[in-house]
Amino acid sequence: MCGIVGYCGPKKATGILLDGLKRLEYRGYDSAGIVVQKDGGLDGVKRTGKINDLRAIVPEAMTGNCGIGHTRWATHGGVTDLNAHPHFDSANRIAVVHNGIIENYTQLKAHLNAEGVVFRSETDSEVLPHLIAMYYEGDLEKAVRSALRRVKGTYGIAVIHADEPMRIVGARNGSPLVVGVGENEMLIASDVTAMIAHTKQVVYMEDGEIVSITPDGFTMTDIEDKKVNKQVDEITWDLGSIEKEGFACFMEKEIFEQPETIAQTLSGRIDAEYATGKLGGLNMSSRELLGVKRVKIVAAGTSWHAGLIGAHLIESIARIPANAEFSSELRYRNCVVESDTLYFAVTQSGETADTLYAMRELKRKGARVLGICNVVGSTIARESDGGAYTHAGPEIAVASTKAFTSQIAVFYTFALLMARMRDMSISSGFRYVKALQSVPEKVRETLTRRDEIQRIAKKYCHARDFLFLGRGLMYPVALEGALKLKEISYIHAEGYSAGEIKHGPIALINEETPSIFLVPADELREKVLSNMKEIKARNGPIIAFCTEGDEEVASIADEVVTIPRIDELFYPFLATVPLQLFAYFCALELGRDVDQPRNLAKSVTVE
């Protein structure tokens, strides 16, 4: 949610800020703005709409070598030009961009009002420049530190002052902030994608840290003004990873990247000789893993669906009780932590607020929490006790695709590791490994169904409601398919266990409500066929995704998309991909903004 970018150096800041914000569009936003230091003052512009709308109104005379920019996702106050960032103090000498929520802004605002401050916006963020101005006595970093001691809530901020040219002060508490180290230039941003065109050398800030950057370098301290020594890391991917490379949009590109990204996730993590998994990043010995009696997975949204698949696998093949639950619920429940329970925190960004705070609560109670995330250097990656990166590469589209299949690939590897330590024989392990290694090529084959899926999407995309139905491992896939359709096409869709259809949802069936059934050749196929017949008897249209050659499914369904044959444990990979394509083509047909759907943000860093 929201994006921050800042630059100071020898180049003109305006273009760098706008380009950086453009690369942060995937995070979700509804307004944007920039401000630069110029002629002893501050020159800024902001407005609702897209970055291209902002770029169109930036005057050519808006020059300067130091500035900050922001994309806002509205929380406090509506989507208006006045509520857009940056925000300024009363004298227009200080400018602030802010990600997060100031929880005590009402009290701070009342105090500032009593001091004669007049607010221009409805936002919580505007208290920051006014508060900093109250403490400013010629040292911006000191004023920011003093102001933040009065602030409760989450923030990632960048601040400039007209009287301190070529300096940006940043601070972080619960909202990501990264410093980019260039040659005679420095950057600051909420995400490395905003600075990859200028440097690959980055410093990840921790909560409670304050940074002061100039073209010559940076200094880092904590809120008590104690110096903090930081390590400079290197970004391992290049600019091409965040370009469309000939695809119509990022979501399409990321769907079609999945054969490669799944292979990358599995690379080096399969021990073919002993038919087991290798996950050295867990930071756990074999004895410690053998002592695990229960696994709990906390996540949100798409990552929760991956967790449901992971829990099913861990329980069914490793014979360890496992479940997945919403991180937003767990963090506010007085959960019981047991010493022999292993926890996973799953998130694409590694910054999801609900999951991060749930992890911290679990760790506070003494739990061992492992992270599964995609972003190297993210907060959950740094604060967890160990875990695994998914290695899916940057995912730019707001709706997750390749990150999801990479997350479940990690769970398939972990389940194999745990199963081989317990009840799985080596011969069963070899069969499992062979099937798992075949997944990337089977996904590539599934993607060849593109044209047929597009035809079906065009036929049904004007329906107002959809039901997605599956059993066993297909149930979380059905949930994920429904979520994808909702996210990017704005069509109402619900996912259910097919066995639950007769317990209420069947009342929704009519000639205008299509049901999407997931019917691979698994042990529950016959049960799902019965559920299909129940829908057919009530004249409900049926779209079935089934294993190739399944004539019985084809005789019942109105439309059929086939997927390749594979061991039944691995159908979630092959069933997920066509559902992603179906949602994509529905959205495309309806003229939706596929990469940046309304009201959504890629990295949900607020509650």
- H-run or E-run covering 544: strand 542-547
> Is a pLDDT exceeding 70 seen at residue 594?
yes
Beta-carbon contacts of 94 under 8 Å, excluding residues fewer than 6 positions away, are 88, 129, 132, 133, 136, 140, 159, 160, 161, 162
- On whether the pTM is more than 0.95, the answer is no
Of residues 2, 8, 66, 461, which has the active-site annotation? Answer: 2
Its sign, for the CA torsion 564, 565, 566, 571, is positive
> Is a pLDDT exceeding 70 seen at residue 75?
yes
Give the pLDDT confidence of 524-548 residue by residue, as tens digits: 999 999 999 999 999 999 999 999 9
> Is a pLDDT exceeding 70 seen at residue 65?
yes
> Is a pLDDT exceeding 80 seen at residue 605?
no
Please tell me if the domain spanning 3-235 has the same topology as the one spanning 445-591: no
Beta-carbon contacts of 299 under 8 Å, excluding residues fewer than 6 positions away, are 306, 307, 324, 326, 327, 344, 345, 346, 347, 355
Q: What strands, in cross-sheet order, belong to the sheet with 233-234?
A: 41-48, 31-38, 66-72, 3-8, 186-189, 178-181, 201-204, 233-234
> Is a pLDDT exceeding 70 seen at residue 424?
yes
Average pLDDT over residues 537-560: 95
The strand pair at 515-519 and 542-547 is best described as: parallel
Of residues 46, 402, 442, 602, which has the active-site annotation? Answer: 602
Tokens of 452: 């047929």
Q: Torsions phi, psi of 120, nearest 5?
A: -105, -15
CATH topology of domain 3-235: Glutamine Phosphoribosylpyrophosphate, subunit 1, domain 1 (3.60.20)
Look at 379 and 261; give whichever has higher pLDDT: 261
Give the pLDDT score at 603: 63
Nearest to 43 by CA among 209, 130, 165, 135: 165
CATH architecture of 244-424: 3-Layer(aba) Sandwich (3.40)
Look at 190 and 442; give whichever has higher pLDDT: 442
Give the pLDDT confidence of 333-356 residue by residue, as tens digits: 888 999 999 999 999 988 888 999
> Is a pLDDT exceeding 90 seen at residue 31?
yes
Tokens of 462: 């004007």
Question: What are the residue boundaries of the structural domains of the chain, listed by start?
Answer: 3-235, 244-424, 445-591
Cβ neighbours of 249 (radius 10 Å): 19
- Which pLDDT band, with edges at 50, 70 and 90, does 602 fall under? low
**Does residue 129 have a cis peptide bond before it, meaning omega lies within 30 degrees of 0?**
no
546 part of the active site: no
Does 3.40.50.10490 match the CATH number of domain 445-591?
yes
Its sign, for the CA torsion 479, 483, 485, 491, is positive
486 part of the active site: no
Look at 25 and 276; give whichever has higher pLDDT: 276
Give the pLDDT confidence of 354-407 residue by residue, as tens digits: 999 999 999 999 999 999 999 888 889 999 999 999 999 888 899 999 999 999
Give the pLDDT confidence of 209-242 residue by residue, as tens digits: 999 999 999 999 999 999 999 989 888 766 666 7
Instruction: Give the rounded percent of residues in the chain with a pLDDT score beyond 90.
Output: 84
Average pLDDT over residues 170-178: 92
Coil, helix or strand for 504?
Answer: coil
Average pLDDT over residues 301-306: 97
